A and B are shown apart, each in its own frame.
Chain A
């Protein structure tokens, strides 16, 4: 069964800390991995990763994919209270007519001042 597992489930840090969120997957016909941030509304897109070892960066956020070990990490440096959110990881599978997105349950991050 295809699955995406995120860890930790929940994380509380102080402003300025660096955090690493994990997403591991066991799927067939992997196509891409996506990270989203969800505050008290709809998820917003962060990164899409398709190739191993190529880091994607956006400000204080960065992400990398390891297709051999089947995981991705999302790093947030110098965290701010505005980073408090649920971070979702999803894997897109594509095998001919069988396409689907499998989502993890998310990591809830709380950044305290």
Chain B
């Protein structure tokens, strides 16, 4: 158990819908990272927040957005969902703002039908 929690564990929704994934980092960690992992694309870095501010941006679509709240938990919002958005979404956390040792949550499996 990494200490990073993610909810929900599984999510099934229809195309065009919007969902919110939630992540609570390990106690004391200030950085949260979001990743998308699909079979054909591997692990894709989406976005990083550090102490409430956006720190780094990867391949995040405009239909996706994220934020980190004052209590350091983070939410990833996915809207206008498409079939291709079906994937495992991981959240990771680290103490520092730069990508050193990251601890991954168990992931949220999103299925878009």
Contacts and interface: CB of A to CB of B under 8 A. Distances in A.
Contact of B106 (A42, A101, A102): A42
Given A41-B106, A41-B107, A100 B98 contact: no
Contacts of A106: 42-43
Is chain A's interface secondary structure helix, strand, loop, or mixed overall?
strand
B42 to A, nearest CB: 4
B56 A99 contact: yes
Nearest to B58: A100
A61 interface: no
B17 to A, nearest CB: 25
A19 interface: no
B57 interface: yes
Contact of B100 (A42, A44, A48): A48
Given A43-B43, A88-B43, A99 B106 contact: no
A92 interface: yes
Interface residues of B, number: 23
Contacts of B100: 32, 48
Place the interface of chain A in its size category.
20 to 34
Contacts of B107: 41-42
Contacts of A27: none
Contacts of A43: 43, 90, 104
A17 B38 CA distance: 30
B77 interface: no
B99 interface: yes
17 contacts: A31-B99, A41-B107, A42-B92, A42-B105, A42-B106, A43-B104, A44-B2, A45-B101, A88-B42, A90-B99, A99-B48, A99-B55, A100-B58, A101-B45, A103-B42, A103-B44, A106-B42
Interface of A: 31-32, 34, 41-45, 48, 88, 90, 92, 94, 98-106
Please give me the 7 A-B residue pairs with the lowest Cβ-Cβ distance, nearest first.
A42-B104, A99-B56, A105-B42, A92-B99, A103-B43, A101-B45, A45-B101
